[in-house]
Amino acid sequence: MELNLLWVSFKQFSGKSVGIIGLGRIGSAIAKRAKAFGCFISYHSRSEKPLTNYKYYSSIINLARDSQILIIACALTEETRHIVNREVINALGPKGVLINIGRGQHIDESELVAALLEGRLGGAGLDVFENEPEVPEQLFGLENVVLVPHVGSDTVETSNAMADLVIGNLEAHFCNKPLLTPVI
């Protein structure tokens, strides 16, 4: 995730309250980087993470209400489909920024578009969409929205690491060894 997505209505990123939905590997990496900017970090996950110094919220609505920036970084499951709906968007409010680097189906996209058009949400940074590859045309002309293809991790190093992982998995498969990254 590039922090330059967080431009909307902020003079600076430093010191903002950042809520993260999903404090797994990616969410934790985001939290670490945001903390380096002096941000106050809070999160929502399936369960509280005992080894963090971040504030846990069992309610996503309360997390959104207390955040200036809300970042979605959780896995897509039946429970997380449309985890960000009208109520969550309204709690984030007209000065809040929603960043989705997870999956497009995490957000009720029609509610997101309506909130942006009506001024109920301050802005959004999106690199995934509910009905990919289709992107709602209403988002294209908005000055408070950044749209990018799902390339948040697309660096030379990451691409090389992914290629190495594919080769490693193929070698393991054809040598009848356990896969490095099995699909569960």
What does the chain come to in residues? 184
Q: Is position 33 annotated as part of the catalytic site?
A: no
User: No. of H helices and E strands in the chain?
Assistant: 5, 7
Q: What count of other Cβ atoms lies within 10 Å of the Cβ of residue 156?
A: 7
142: three-class secondary structure by DSSP:
coil
Which secondary structure element, helix H or strand E, spans residue 70, and what is its range? strand 69-72
Q: Is position 171 annotated as part of the catalytic site?
A: no
Which secondary structure element, helix H or strand E, spans residue 39, and what is its range? none
Q: Which is catalytic among the residues 103, 106, 111, 130?
A: 103
Q: Is position 106 annotated as part of the catalytic site?
A: no
**CA 144/CA 97 separation, integer angstroms:** 9
Whether omega before 94 lies within 30 degrees of 0, making that bond cis, reads no
Q: Which is catalytic among the residues 132, 134, 171, 173?
A: 132
Which residues are catalytic, by number? 103, 132, 150
